[in-house]
Each structure stands twice: as structure tokens, then as C-alpha cells.
Amino acid sequence: MIARLVGSIAVCLLLWSAASHDAMASSEDRWVFRVYLEDKPIGFHEFRVSEHGAGREVEINAEFDVKFLFFNAYSYDHRNTESWAQNCLRGIEAVTNANGEKFQVYGQHGENGFRIRTGDESEILESECVRSFAYWNPVILESERLLNAQTGEILNVTVVPLGPDALSVGSNQIPAEKFRIEMTEGPITLWYSAENRQWLALEAPAKGGRTLRYEPVILPGQAGDSIELAMD
């Protein structure tokens, strides 16, 4: 379940200069989540989304370590870059080490569709608009199929609105909208800001009846670009 959650995240703004209408400025938004298994911090997940013109470039880094006594019971390392245009995935390159099992996913949009390659296998996905589990982009809430960035699989999903909610972020209570992505592999619960649909948090069931939680440390629009994350 932990491995399935990796995906991409952040919503960026396109800034235009009033003094020079022909010069486009780029911007970057950054999310950093501390990841918990129940109440124990196990790592972090960071997302950077840069917007240039009509396109977006996404960089994703994740590291999890689940410890039992003095031993690592589970370790996870994920590095992923994605390119987007018009809310559709145009390219992806992801490398994952899930407790010693290694995955590589490469994908590129072309004239014949979106070609995905995993290891020695290659296929063209039958979809005009491929999207990954890009929680940063609320347009995925309109999707019926999403790409697993770790395995290269396309998964059937059903998005269920769960209504208004309030989420504690630091000392603030933020009005939020709650959604659940349902699929065979298990549900993922998401919270978005009620004001602007900015992604705020995530929960999902983990092995052993436990809960995996993403709590935000840095959200777009917040000051600060460096952070120490508890890994113990």
C-alpha cells in the first residue's frame, strides 16, 4: 500500500509581467509532507512543480523507513520526474527501490499515444489523456483511470466526494473538502482546501490494519525553503 501512494503533487501559478507582456515568468510550488505510520514518523515525501508557459515540470522525492526494534523492517526510496501539459501527462521517468525490489518506469507521449516502458516490456496506453496519481492537481478527481508511477500500471478508480470537513494544519483549522479514491488495491482519502482546491493531506490503510498519513510541513505560499525531517 505504501508503494502505491507515490505520485506527484503541487499546483503552480503562471505569472505574467505587466510591464512586458511578451515575457513569461516561471514559478515553483513546493509541498513537503512528513509521513506517519499510525503516530510514528517514518519519512517524508517532497513535491516540486515548476510552471513554464503552458507546461509543468514535476520533481518527486520520497524516503520511508519503517523500523522494528533496531532493524529496518521496510525501506522505500522513490525518485520521479514528470512533465504535464493541458492537465495531461506528457512524460515520466521514475526509479523506485521498495525494500530491495527495484522498479523503473519510462513514459512519453507521441503521435500514436502514450508509450510506457517498464523493464523490458513496452506498451501504448489507450487513452487520449493519461494522468498519474497527481494529488497536487485536483483535475484527477474527474478521472476514472490513473497511472501508478511505480509499476507503470493503469488502475481503474472511482472518486467519491465525502463533503466538507475541517483540517488542522499547524495551529490553523482550514475548511476543506474530503474525497476518497476507491480501487481494488484499497482506498485513498484526500483533503483539499475548500477555498482553492489546494491539496492538504492524505490517509490510506496500511498492512496490519494500520493507517498511513501525510501531514503537511510546507505548502505552496508558505515561507521557508529548508526543513529538517524526523526520520527516526
In a domain, 136, yes or no: yes
Q: Around Cβ 143, how many Cβ atoms within 10 Å?
A: 22
Q: Are 80 and 6 in contact (CB under 8 A)?
A: yes
In a domain, 199, yes or no: yes
Question: For residue 204, what pLDDT band results from cuts at 50, 70 and 90?
Answer: very high
Higher pLDDT, 177 or 173: 177
DSSP 53: T
In a domain, 231, yes or no: no
How does pLDDT run across 37-93, given as a tens digit for each residue? Answer: 999 999 999 999 998 888 999 999 999 999 876 667 789 999 999 999 999 999 999
In a domain, 126, yes or no: yes
Question: For residue 207, what pLDDT band results from cuts at 50, 70 and 90?
Answer: confident
CA 28 to chain centre: 15
Query: In sequence order, which residues have a C-beta less than 8 Å from that of residue 87 and are 6 or more positions away?
Result: 129, 131, 137, 139
In a domain, 228, yes or no: no
C-alpha grid cell, residue 168: 488542522
In a domain, 224, yes or no: no
In a domain, 190, yes or no: yes
Distance between terminal CA atoms of the chain?
Answer: 21
Nearest Cα neighbor of 78 from 1, 136, 6, 148 is 6
In a domain, 85, yes or no: yes
> With 0-12 CB in 10 A as exposed, 13-18 as middle and 19+ as buried, what is 187?
middle
Domain that holds residue 169: 3-11+25-218
Q: How many domains are contained in the chain?
A: 1
pLDDT of residue 221: 81
DSSP 134: B
